[in-house]
With several copies, the nearest count.
Chain A
Amino acid sequence: MPDKKTPKLDELEHGPWPSFVTEIKKAAVRNESAKDLLNLLERSYDDKRGHWKHGGIVGVRGYGGGVIGRYTDLPEEYPHVAEFHTMRVNAPSAWFYKTETLRTLCDIWEKHGSGLTNVHGSTGDLIFLGMKTEELQTTYDELSDAGFDLGGSGSCLRSPSCCVGPARCESACYDTLDVCYDLTSSYQDELHRPMWPYKFKFKMSGCANDCVAAIARADCSIIGTWRDSIRIDQDQVKAYAESGLDIQGMVCDKCPTRALKYDHEKKELHVIAEDCSRCMHCINVMPKAVRPGKEKGATILLGGKSTIVQSAFLSWVIVPFMKMEPPYTELKEMVAKIWDWWDENGKTRERLGELIYRMGMTKFLREVGLPPVPQMVFRPRANPYVFWPQDEIVK
Chain B
Amino acid sequence: MSKIDGGPPDYKKLLPPIITENYGQWKYHEIPRAGVLKHVSEKGDTLYSVRVGSPRLVSIDYIRDICALADSYCDGYLRFTSRNNVEFLVSDEGKVEPLIKELEAKGYPIGGVGNALSNIVHTQGWVHCHTPATDASGIVKAVMDDLYEYFGRTDLPAKLKVAMACCLNMCGAVHCSDVAILGVHRTPPRVDHEKIRKGTEIPTLVAACPTGAIRPDPKNKSVVVNEERCMYCGNCYTMSPAMEILDAKNDGIAILVGGKVSNARTAPSFSRLVIPFLPNNPPRWPEVTAAVRHIVETWLNNARKGERVGEWIERIGWERFFSLTEIPFTDKHIDDFIFSRETFRTTAAFKY
Taking the complex as a whole, does A directly touch B, i.e. does some CB pair lie under 8 Å apart? Answer: yes
A386 CA to B252 CA, complexed, in Å: 13
Is B123's CB under 8 angstroms from A378's CB?
Answer: no
Is B5's CB under 8 angstroms from A192's CB?
Answer: yes
* CB pairs A–B below 8 angstroms (23 shown): A17-B148, A18-B109, A20-B127, A26-B62, A27-B61, A44-B282, A48-B249, A101-B14, A149-B6, A149-B7, A277-B351, A299-B348, A306-B172, A317-B345, A320-B350, A361-B336, A361-B340, A363-B336, A372-B330, A372-B333, A374-B321, A379-B272, A388-B332
The stretch that binds A, out of B71-79, B92-100, B295-303, is B71-79
Other A-B pairs, 17, CB within 8 Å; known A172-B24, A315-B346 = A12-B141, A17-B55, A17-B144, A20-B137, A23-B59, A98-B77, A116-B58, A149-B7, A166-B23, A166-B24, A221-B348, A308-B169, A379-B272, A381-B334, A381-B337, A383-B335, A386-B231
Task: Name which residue of chain A comes closest to B82, CB basis.
Answer: A212
Task: Name which residue of chain A comes closest to B147, CB basis.
Answer: A17
Q: Which residues from chain A contact B187 at a C-beta distance below 8 Å?
A: 388, 393
Instruction: Bin chain B's interface residue count.
Output: 35 or more
A307 CA to B27 CA, complexed, in Å: 38
Task: Name which residue of chain B comes closest to A276, CB basis.
Answer: B351
Q: Which residues from chain B contact A279 at a C-beta distance below 8 Å?
A: 263-265, 349
Contact with A along B298-337 (1 / 0, CB 8 A): 0000000110000000101111111000000111111111
The stretch that binds B, out of A103-111, A322-330, A335-343, is A103-111
The B interface, classified by DSSP as helix, strand, loop or mixed, is loop
**Which residues, 228 to 280 on A, are CB-close (under 8 Å) to B?**
250, 254-257, 274-280
Shortest Cβ gap from B86 to chain A (Å):
8
Q: Which residues from chain B contact A375 at a C-beta distance below 8 Å?
A: 319, 345, 350-352
Is A275's CB under 8 angstroms from B351's CB?
Answer: yes
Q: Which residues from chain B contact A100 at a C-beta distance below 8 Å?
A: 76
Shortest Cβ gap from B37 to chain A (Å):
8
Q: Which of A70, A317, A381 contacts B350 (CB 8 A)?
A: A317
Shortest Cβ gap from A222 to chain B (Å):
10
A144 CA to B135 CA, complexed, in Å: 33
- A136 at interface by CB-CB < 8 Å: no
Is A383's CB under 8 angstroms from B337's CB?
Answer: yes
Is A119's CB under 8 angstroms from B84's CB?
Answer: yes
**Which residues, 236 to 275 on B, are CB-close (under 8 Å) to A?**
238-239, 241, 246-251, 254, 256, 258-259, 261-266, 268-274
- B219 at interface by CB-CB < 8 Å: no
Is B173's CB under 8 angstroms from A213's CB?
Answer: yes
Q: Which residues from chain A contact B273 at a C-beta distance below 8 Å?
A: 380-384, 386
Is B9's CB under 8 angstroms from A168's CB?
Answer: no
Contact with B along A16-46 (1 / 0, CB 8 A): 1111110110110000001001000100110
Q: Which residues from chain B contact A97 at a C-beta distance below 8 Å?
A: 14, 77-80
- B101 at interface by CB-CB < 8 Å: no
Q: Which residues from chain B contact A90 at a C-beta distance below 8 Å?
A: 7-8
Is A357's CB under 8 angstroms from B345's CB?
Answer: no
Shortest Cβ gap from B146 to chain A (Å):
8
A357 CA to B266 CA, complexed, in Å: 24
Instruction: Bin chain A's interface residue count.
Output: 35 or more
- A360 at interface by CB-CB < 8 Å: yes
Q: Which residues from chain B contact A110 at a C-beta distance below 8 Å?
A: 60
Is B57's CB under 8 angstroms from A129's CB?
Answer: yes
Q: Which residues from chain B contact A144 at a C-beta distance below 8 Å?
A: 2-3, 6
Q: Which residues from chain B contact A166 at a C-beta distance below 8 Å?
A: 23-24, 26
Contact with A along B171-184 (1 / 0, CB 8 A): 11111100000101
Q: Which of A50, A86, A211 contacts B125 (CB 8 A)?
A: A50
Q: Which residues from chain B contact A215 at a C-beta distance below 8 Å?
A: 176, 261, 263, 268, 346-348
Task: Name which residue of chain A comes closest to B345, CB basis.
Answer: A317
Q: Which residues from chain B contact A313 at a C-beta distance below 8 Å?
A: 341, 346
Is A95's CB under 8 angstroms from B81's CB?
Answer: yes
Shortest Cβ gap from A128 to chain B (Å):
10
Task: Given A12-B142, A377-B344, check contact A210 B335 (CB 8 Å).
Answer: no
Is B57's CB under 8 angstroms from A213's CB?
Answer: no
Is A384's CB under 8 angstroms from B15's CB?
Answer: no
Q: Which residues from chain A contact B154 at a C-beta distance below 8 Å?
A: none
Is B335's CB under 8 angstroms from A380's CB?
Answer: yes
- A194 at interface by CB-CB < 8 Å: no
Is B70's CB under 8 angstroms from A164's CB?
Answer: no
A42 CA to B133 CA, complexed, in Å: 16
- A161 at interface by CB-CB < 8 Å: yes
Q: Which of B130, B175, B269 contacts A50 (CB 8 A)?
A: B130
Shortest Cβ gap from B22 to chain A (Å):
9
Task: Name which residue of chain A comes closest to B281, CB basis.
Answer: A48
Task: Name which residue of chain B comes closest to A314, CB basis.
Answer: B346
Is B282's CB under 8 angstroms from A8's CB?
Answer: yes
Q: Which of B121, B264, B319, B343 contacts A381 (CB 8 A)?
A: B343
